[in-house]
A and B are shown apart, each in its own frame.
Chain A
Amino acid sequence: MKNIVKYLLVGFIFGIVLTKSEAVSWYRIYEMFHFQSFHMYGIISVAILTGIIGIQIIKRNNIKDIKGESIEIPDKEKGSARYWIGGLFFGLGWALVGSCPGPIFILLGAGFWTVLLVLFGALVGTYLYGLLKSKLPH
């Protein structure tokens, strides 16, 4: 129960921050890809900067996680094709419907029902990847 509350709360704050920063807005994504505002670039840069500093503090001080176990952040698998090609596909979708997976859920929660079509598409896309995985270059 305590676990559920903990994750629910993190998600709740995430939903509020992404909405209030307007990172869930189709307009903000369009504006970003047209280099007409610094807003989205600022959000992403500060998030990464905060993350880099935080992770360095965790690593250098051997900070333990909530259960007292040492924190291991696994490296991403090596490779190229999957990142370039997969990334390209993702970017095409991101700029078309203006939402990445987090915002899809957040917008749905906020009551934008037509986003259900995007979620359904995203599930189909995920399924297609699972189906074709062995045939794709990674």
Chain B
Amino acid sequence: MNVIFQTWSWYISGFLIGMIMLCLIYFGKSFGMSSNLRSLCSMAGLGKRVAFFDFDWKAQRWNLVVVLGAMLGGFVAVHFMSDASNVAINPQTISQLAALGIDAPNGKLVPDALFGNSILESPKSIFILLIGGILIGFGSRYAGGCTSGHAISGLSNLQIPSLKAVIGFFIGGLIMAHLLLPLIVK
């Protein structure tokens, strides 16, 4: 039963993610998560104010069902398929994080220092999560896709625009992880 509780290997996980994308193509759809954010904006009635959200979001309902399924999957995986051996990251990473005041995983998926309930008492921590979200939402719509739409779907279909976007993701990520994050969380 270890297979269920331990961290899944990169080759099994990568293969399954590729198959999920192919499965959606077989269903006549495409794999892309960030477009759901646009659908949610449209559902909230923003199409009356901004033309970009004035589209037939109902045609994208299938993708919102995928999201719902993903949320259920997350719930089941975290509550029934996890143990303390999970998130065994590089010890060097752990000591680097300790220097930034960020707690070690010990089986947790996200650090308490950034996501624990106590962050609600700190305006700075709230601001970090909001800004991160804004960058993700703005950037993914501007680039026309995120990790699923560009990195997985786009590169699988050998799309040069997706390659540009993915290189952009990594440049941005490296700037944040190496230069900005240490300044922000300190």
Which residues of A does B touch, CB under 8 Å? 3-4, 6-31, 33-34, 36-52, 54-55, 58, 63, 65-67, 69, 71, 73, 75-80, 82-102, 104-115, 117-131, 133, 136
Contact = CB atoms under 8 A, between A and B. Distances in A.
B74 A19 contact: yes
Interface string B64-78: 011111111111111
B107 to A, nearest CB: 11
Given A31-B89, A87-B172, A114 B69 contact: no
A50 to B, nearest CB: 3
Contacts of B14: 21, 42-47, 49-50
A11 B72 contact: yes
A118 B76 contact: no
B156 A27 contact: no
Q: Is chain B's binding surface mostly helix, strand, loop or mixed?
A: helix
B143 A87 contact: yes
A46 to B, nearest CB: 3
B174 A33 contact: yes
A20 B20 CA distance: 15
A35 to B, nearest CB: 9
Contacts of B99: none
Contacts of B13: 17-18, 20-21, 23, 43, 46-47
Given A12-B70, A16-B76, A105-B74, 14 more contacts: A15-B75, A23-B13, A24-B74, A47-B156, A51-B156, A82-B144, A87-B172, A98-B114, A117-B129, A121-B129, A121-B135, A125-B136, A128-B137, A136-B142
A95 B93 contact: no
A66 B26 contact: yes
Interface string B172-186: 111111101100100
Contacts of A82: 142-144
Contact of A14 (B40, B73, B177): B73
Contact of B148 (A25, A52, A66, A102): A102
Contacts of A42: 10-11, 14
Interface in B77-118: 77-79, 81-82, 86-87, 89-90, 92-93, 96-97, 105, 109-111, 114-117
Q: Give the residue among A17, A55, A88, A91 with the most B Cβ atoms within 10 A.
A: A91
A111 to B, nearest CB: 7
A138 to B, nearest CB: 8
Contact of B169 (A77, A87, A118): A87
A83 B90 contact: no
Contact of B128 (A23, A39, A97): A97
Contacts of A21: 7-8, 10, 12-14, 17
Contacts of A107: 74, 109-110
A40 to B, nearest CB: 8
Contacts of A45: 14
Contact of A95 (B28, B134, B138, B181): B181
A11 to B, nearest CB: 2
